[in-house]
Structure 1
Amino acid sequence: MKGEGRLLAIPGGVDDFREIREGGYYFVDKSELVSDIVNDRSKVFLFTRPTRFGKSLNLSMIDAFFNLEYKGNKWFDGLKVNSHPEVEEHRNAYPVIILNMKDLFVSRRDMFLPMFKGMLSRTFRSFEYLKTSDKISESLRDLYLGKDPVYFEDARALDFIPALCQMLEQHHGVKPIVLIDEYDNPINNAFNKDTYDDVMGFLREFYSLVLKSNPYMSFAVVTGVMQIAKESIFSGLNNLRVDNVFSKKFDERYGFTEPE
């Protein structure tokens, strides 16, 4: 890594694991979160922490470890995760879908769905190779690959991520991982506004389709600031491991311990 043998820079505001490891920044080693996830074997992980606790950085680190796009990288050289041989079969072995909910600022009812579909469009850009794949079923190709997600009708937008999971499994032969950053951001932004019920209702159905009724996903990691009541947003999701500021198992993987 750059910066070895000299004073490193403090990565203020940098939440990209690859940039930190390649750019000569200090990095407090939280890589054993990867082995924790592999060994826990839950289907869906929900990590809730206050802002500036490293949620986005850890999600970027998870992407860097599991994503098959990054085979052969040196980002984890010298990190603690390498002392866990059981994770090696998972290293850079999965397609990874990243949904970033940070930018879904909702001030009006008519803004939410266009912004949501725009997020789906940005998410799909790294998977456009599926359009020319001869492994994708004709029905999926006709329904989802004919136009940009920004132009989808509402129902098609709701089930696009499960369909993308299915297409990625068909193409790569392995079920993808889904990462969702700041899942609660649009809900918090809509609070006390006339769009709140619409946003909550839409996202309740969306998260159910992605995280509960999705047989084409290996596992998911979801982050957020608040732990919205399970009955409100994740109703019926029995495979959800919730880890918050009061939890013990993953407590040292977010924020800093006193020695750190």
Structure 2
Amino acid sequence: MNKNMPIGIDDFKELREGYYFVDKSRFIKQLIDGHSKVTLLTRPRRFGKTLTLSMLDWFFSLQKKEMSRHLFRDLDIETAGETYMEQRGGYPVLFVTFKDLKDLTWKQMVNSLRLLISDWCVANDKVMACPAIDPELKQRFLNLKRCQGNLSEMQRSLALLMTLLKTAFGRPVILLIDEYDTPIQQAWEGGFYKECITFMKQLLGSALKGNENLHFSIMTGVLRIAKESIFSDLNNLDVCSVMSDNYADIIGFTAAEVKKMAYDLGKKDALDDIKTWYDGYRFGHCEIYNPWSVINFFRNGQVGDYWVNTSGNGILRILLQRADAERTASLQGLLQGNTETVTLNERVIYSDIGSDKSALYTLLLTTGYLTISQASPIRRNRYELRIPNKEIKDIYGREILNYLAQGLRADNFDDLFDYLFRGDVERFTQSLQHILR
């Protein structure tokens, strides 16, 4: 057993060959047993979405068939039987990610998209050797590969690549799309939201809607973007959010998996601390630990705020800037261990966040800052929310104080932090009012 912790390892092959591995290959069996045409898995950042798609890529990819057999030896999918293993290497796979699209202007993002699409073409360049491919389609491919495609050609790039793969290999394509909403969130923060939504709607719609070259698609992201109609025309979409029981235990670590890790790595005495700091999430009815933070704990041998540096918590600062006094007070109450009862709306759009209470709390839930404590037994979509664990409580405290007390000296900030976490609301309020005068 390899005890190296896979910090930042997103490639399934690299992880299997050199690091400690938590077996999630049952997901492959579930997909083979029955899948929707298009499935969207929404989970917080750094919970293992990219690695999950990489596992599917290495298993199903016809292009990687000769290199993948040993990667699944003795895993759940192999023990499930030869019927399942016969599916290995059975389809051309197109695996794309948008996780690095974080440009500050639309012009910059178009340039980044042009380079990204070129990379997709380079990675699939071997299809050009197929004599059955139409010369006109080859020319479009070459335009995109050389970064010479216009905006319309770029919007059709995924559909074009799927056509070429289907022609070259004679089988429909499995399309894996990672972090589809990263550019959308970035566009929202940067003020070019409308342009980005329009582009992504055409890019994804042409690939996913009524495409005879598609076998099935798995997409990942943090948030479902619905009302702008990016998916409104897609009637074959199955959304598996943090509120859904479907695939609830696939992304993130279960309690049993964390317990096995602790015993394997000689840290069973630390299980209570790990639970206090990194447990507390509920996906569907499944208890889930933050995998990024758990892995960092086992690597460093001590608890700490690991997720805060990687999770893109700038979104929390923006939410706080747009929150009114009532919502700011409720967020402070959450720090004292209170719950907040709200109506959630998974069909949220970013532009609603400043005015729609359900949008604010839905986004805090899907991004990992809150989790469901319990559902209302009598009202649909009504839930009690809470802060999941000590790590997130620390993040909340510091971000809320950063917003409320910008420009404070470090000692004043630390005093406020201490009052807030001790629950000394009176001294916290008095001190904050005195400082802000």
TM over 0.5: yes
Instruction: Map 1:32-51; keep pairs closer than 5 Å.
Output: 32-51=26-45
Q: Distance in 1 between matches of 2:103 and 2:109?
A: 6
Paired position in structure 1 for 2:106:
109
Q: Distance in 2 between matches of 1:239 and 1:149?
A: 34
Moved more, 60-69 or 127-136: 127-136
1:71 aligns with 2:71: no
Paired position in structure 2 for 1:15:
10
Paired position in structure 2 for 1:217:
214
| Compared CA separation, residues 177 and 149, structure 1 to 2 (3 A) | farther
Question: TM (normalized to structure 1)?
Answer: 0.92
Paired position in structure 2 for 1:83:
79
**How far did 1:147 drift?**
5.7
| Compared CA separation, residues 211 and 230, structure 1 to 2 (3 A) | farther
C-alpha deviations, 1:178-221, integer Å up to 9, x for none?
11110000000111433111001111121111111422111111
1:27 aligns with 2:8: no
Aligned pair count reads 254
Instruction: Map 1:152-167; keep pairs closer than 5 Å.
Output: 152-167=149-164
RMSD: 1.6
Question: TM (normalized to structure 2)?
Answer: 0.56
Moved more, 98-107 or 126-135: 126-135
Taking CA–CA contacts closer than 8 Å with sequence separation of 6 or more, which of the two structures ends up with the larger relative contact order?
1
Aligned partner of 2:179: which letter? Answer: E
Aligned partner of 1:240: which letter? Answer: L
Q: Residues 144 and 154 of structure 2 are in contact (CA less than 8 Å); yes or no, is this contact kept in structure 1?
A: no
| Compared CA separation, residues 130 and 39, structure 1 to 2 (3 A) | same
Q: Residues 131 and 145 of structure 1 are in contact (CA less than 8 Å); yes or no, is this contact kept in structure 2?
A: no
Moved more, 128-137 or 8-17: 128-137
Q: Which structure 2 segments of 5+ residues have no match? A: 258-437
**How far did 1:149 drift?**
5.0
Instruction: Map 1:119-134; keep pairs closer than 5 Å.
Output: 119-134=116-131
Q: Distance in 2 between matches of 1:17 and 1:67?
A: 13
Q: Distance in 2 between matches of 1:202 and 1:71?
A: 34
Aligned partner of 1:43: which letter? Answer: K
SS at match of 2:41: strand
SS at match of 2:218: strand
Q: Distance in 2 between matches of 1:202 and 1:90?
A: 34
Paired position in structure 2 for 1:246:
243
| Compared CA separation, residues 206 and 149, structure 1 to 2 (3 A) | farther
**How far did 1:110 drift?**
1.1
The structure where helix makes up a greater share of residues is 2
